[in-house]
Amino acid sequence: MREAKEITAFLNYRTIFKILRKGEFESIIKETGCQLPNVSQFRYYKECQKIIEGMDILKLQSEMLKKLKTREVIVIEEFKEIVPYELKFLVYFSNFNKNDYLVLNTALKYEYVG
């Protein structure tokens, strides 16, 4: 067996930036001692991306992984019982969050009187 090597050639600033949510990349920018840009909303994301691209890519990857691990994970298994077979395909590809499942559950329990 070969010894594992760290390959960083495929790390990409733009991809990492796109993975992060607004609050997450803002938090990373603040934590590194930089200030958030004071520009119009139109230019805000581009300016934040420039700040992110000025960081060390390995440090950025590490911070991104920390942020991803703190995201709320929806346990899909507990909601599978709620969704009827006819809607499972639609629900699966709609990327429902926990609140969406709860709303769907409420709607499915509602008895239509027409």
Domain that holds residue 86: 76-109
Name the band, by pLDDT with cuts 50, 70 and 90, for residue 76: low
**23-54 pLDDT, tens digit each:** 999 999 999 999 999 999 999 999 999 999 99
Of 52, 50, 57, give the one whose Cα is nearest residue 27: 52
Amino acid identity, position 84: P
In a domain, 27, yes or no: yes
Residues 20 and 66 reside in one and the same domain: yes
Integer CA distances (angstroms), 22 to 15, 26, 83, 95, in order: 14, 6, 31, 19
> Are residues 25 and 41 located together in one domain of the fold?
yes
Q: Tell me if the pTM is above 0.85.
A: no
In a domain, 24, yes or no: yes
Cα angle for residues 89, 109, 102 (degrees, 5° grid)? 60
- Contacts of 31 by beta carbon, 8 Å cutoff, 6+ apart: 63
